[in-house]
Amino acid sequence: MLGRAIGSFGKALGDRRWKAFGAGLEGISKEKVDVVVIGAGVVGLAVAREMALKGRDVLVVESASTFGTGTSSRNSEVIHAGIYYPPNSLKARFCVKGRELLYRYCADRQIPHQQIGKLIVATSVSEVPKLSILLRCGTDNGVKGLRMMEGSEAIRMEPKLHCVKALLSPCSGIVDSHSFMLSLAGEAENARAIFSYKSTVLGGHVEDNHLRLHISESKDLENHDDASPLLPQLVLIPKLVINSAGLSAFPLAKRFHVI
Ligand SMILES: Cc1cc2nc3c(=O)[nH]c(=O)nc-3n(C[C@H](O)[C@H](O)[C@H](O)COP(=O)(O)OP(=O)(O)OC[C@H]3O[C@@H](n4cnc5c(N)ncnc54)[C@H](O)[C@@H]3O)c2cc1C
């Protein structure tokens, strides 16, 4: 519902209207803050925790009523090994390093997780070359322990499999994503991060070299008719903004204007 509201808001507000809207903010309260993290998915939570632990004053602005209600609670909860990304890409490097950090984080805090390993299978001979490519790519990425096995060996591990060969990835695993996010949120709060739920970043504008964020209560977006521009209740003037709004991050960034 809220996602739809944000979407239609973005569409309804063409550039011209947005600029007029950006210029008419005189009567609206403004507040200077240190760091604003937009979105409390797993990425926003991890960033907020880290920044707060480093002594920054962090405000997390989340449009939903709690953290982790978006993609972060609708995924497969797999801890990926780092096999698929192109070698030397940031994704490959972060996936491999992030996996090690995630296992350590979960083990230290008894967050439910298990390094159960994964089998990537070729169900016909024609698929075997693809497994070889993945083996090479994963090895180049620094993924340890990857091993090609005959179908019969894989089927002994998982009798319901039908495959001719399999690639074993022993360092893949699973994690209870909600417990993980709960832990990140708790540690962020303990380090004095403040969470403002049901609050939406509508957009923003750059003034005096600073991005100013336009904030509204989420319920106002839900009730808003597209005919008139929606005024924010608050303008935040942060020193640093982290746009971790997930799939909304790009559309939101397009609503940051120079006026
Ligand atoms: C089907 C599927 C399976 C997946 N499986 C895995 C897996 O097994 N392992 C894995 O590691 N990854 C997996 N992923 C990917 C993973 O889930 C995502 O990369 C991750 O959850 C993204 O987190 P996020 O914090 O960037 O985004 P999100 O979880 O979407 O968080 C963004 C937050 O920003 C808020 N927000 C948006 N716009 C605004 C705004 N304007 N103002 C304020 N708040 C706003 C939203 O409400 C939301 O809470 C999977 C993804 C999918 C779709």
Query: In this predicted structure, what is the pLDDT of residue 23?
Result: 57
Query: In this predicted structure, what is the pLDDT of residue 7?
Result: 35
Q: For 40-63, how does the pLDDT look when each residue is reduced to its tens digit (9 = 90+)?
A: 999 999 999 999 999 999 999 999
Query: In this predicted structure, what is the pLDDT of residue 219?
Result: 86
β-bridge pairing 234-243 and 210-217:
antiparallel
User: How far apart are the C-alpha atoms of 173 and 178, rounded to whole Å?
Assistant: 16
| Ligand 1 centroid distance, CA of 211 (Å) | 24
Domain with CATH 3.50.50.60 in the chain: 2-68+180-258
Is the pLDDT at 221 greater than 90? The verdict is: no
Is the pLDDT at 11 greater than 80? The verdict is: no
Query: In this predicted structure, what is the pLDDT of residue 225?
Result: 77
What are the distances in angstroms from CA 192 to CA 30, 201, 237?
21, 21, 19
What is the pLDDT averaged over residues 90-97? 97
Is the pLDDT at 5 greater than 50? The verdict is: no
Ligand 1 site, residue 152, Cβ cutoff 6 A? no
Is the pLDDT at 145 greater than 70? The verdict is: yes
Query: In this predicted structure, what is the pLDDT of residue 228?
Result: 76
Is the pLDDT at 167 greater than 90? The verdict is: yes
User: How far apart are the C-alpha atoms of 84 and 137, rounded to whole Å?
Assistant: 7
Q: Which two tokens stand for residue 174?
A: 């699973």
Domain 2-68+180-258 class, CATH top level: alpha beta
Ligand 1 site, residue 220, Cβ cutoff 6 A? no
Residue of minimum CA distance from atom 39 in ligand 1: 245
What are the distances in angstroms from CA 20 to CA 24, 114, 208, 228?
6, 53, 18, 12
